[in-house]
């Protein structure tokens, strides 16, 4: 199973807002939805998915295990709780959301528990999020590189994370880019805007197309129907080598997400 190139993110969306976003996205043709235990919206996502009437086998649902649930005796029970909220017997992809703060729970322990969850049929694929090269190496040592479907990381034109991406490519681990639009900062960039004008596209479409053209999966979120529809159209946009080169040159190492107490020592 491959990870869909474009899915719907639900970070920071709560209550009726997330229900409406997921419902609209599914109506427009999205079939991948990304949530997490810490988002506090798994039940609402599950409600919207159930109401859509779309068969479970047509959907790709991802959630993430929060740091408080990384211990071997907590991970699987917490995943079962997530499944109950999502009204599903399984997830298509389950990720470790952040590495354990200060290494309180060893990588070997939570990756072993995640692999056991997969063995029990609770999740089709497993992976990680916000992992560095060192942490990925530890995860690979426990479960093998072929078991790790993806590492979901902050990645946008201003933070292209090339050292980490190169390592992931060498191990056959897919890249999922979160915050691909850089909290909207990227959309104001003159280079992105110029490329968008040339293609009669939006800056968001250009940015998402750039990431997908590099082989990354993207999970942008939106509450507006026109933006949800516009983001879907990014799959049809083909950028030239010159366009890609111009965007490559925008990398400035600008990291927007690095929560104190959670963030590892970044590469």
Q: Is 200 annotated as a binding residue?
A: no
Q: How far apart are the first and last CA of the chain?
A: 29
70, 99 in Cβ contact below 8 A?
A: no
Of 123, 120, 119, the closest CA to residue 96 belongs to 123
Residue pLDDT tens, the chain, 267 long: 689 999 999 999 999 999 999 999 999 999 999 999 999 999 999 999 999 999 999 999 999 999 999 999 999 999 999 999 999 999 999 999 999 999 999 999 999 999 999 999 999 999 999 999 999 999 999 999 999 999 999 999 999 999 999 999 999 999 999 999 999 999 999 999 999 999 999 999 999 999 999 999 999 999 999 999 999 999 999 999 999 999 999 999 999 999 999 999 999
CATH, range 8-181+216-221: 3.20.20.100
Residues assigned a catalytic role: 39
220, 30 in Cβ contact below 8 A?
A: no
User: Which residues are paired to 93 by β-bridges?
Assistant: 62, 125
CB atoms inside a 10 Å sphere around CB 143: 17
What global pTM score does this model have?
0.97
**Domain boundaries in the chain?**
8-181+216-221
């Amino acid at each position: 199973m491959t990870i869909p190139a474009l899915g719907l993110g639900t970070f920071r969306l709560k209550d009726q807002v997330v229900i409406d976003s997921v419902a609209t996205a599914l109506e427009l043709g999205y079939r991948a939805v990304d949530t997490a235990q810490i988002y506090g919206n798994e039940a609402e996502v599950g409600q919207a998915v159930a109401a859509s009437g779309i068969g479970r086998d047509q959907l790709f649902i991802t959630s993430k295990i929060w740091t408080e649930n990384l211990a071997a005796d907590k991970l699987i029970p917490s995943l079962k709780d997530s499944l109950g909220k999502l009204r599903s017997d399984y997830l298509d992809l389950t990720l470790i959301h952040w590495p354990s703060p200060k290494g309180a729970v060893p990588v070997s322990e939570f990756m072993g528990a995640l692999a056991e969850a997969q063995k029990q049929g609770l999740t089709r694929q497993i992976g990680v999020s916000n992992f560095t090269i060192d942490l990925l190496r530890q995860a690979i040592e426990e479960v093998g590189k072929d078991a790790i479907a993806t590492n979901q990381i902050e990645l946008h034109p201003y933070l292209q994370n090339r050292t980490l991406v190169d390592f992931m490519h060498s191990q056959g681990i897919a890249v999922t880019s979160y915050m691909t639009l850089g909290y909207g900062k990227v959309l104001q960039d003159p280079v992105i805007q110029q490329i968008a004008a040339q293609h009669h596209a939006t800056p968001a479409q250009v940015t998402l197309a750039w990431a997908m053209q590099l082989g990354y999966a993207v999970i942008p979120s939106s509450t507006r129907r026109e933006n949800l529809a516009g983001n879907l159209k990014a799959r049809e946009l083909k950028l030239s080598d010159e366009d890609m080169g111009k965007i490559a040159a925008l990398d400035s190492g600008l990291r927007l997400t690095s929560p104190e107490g959670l963030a590892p020592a970044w590469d």
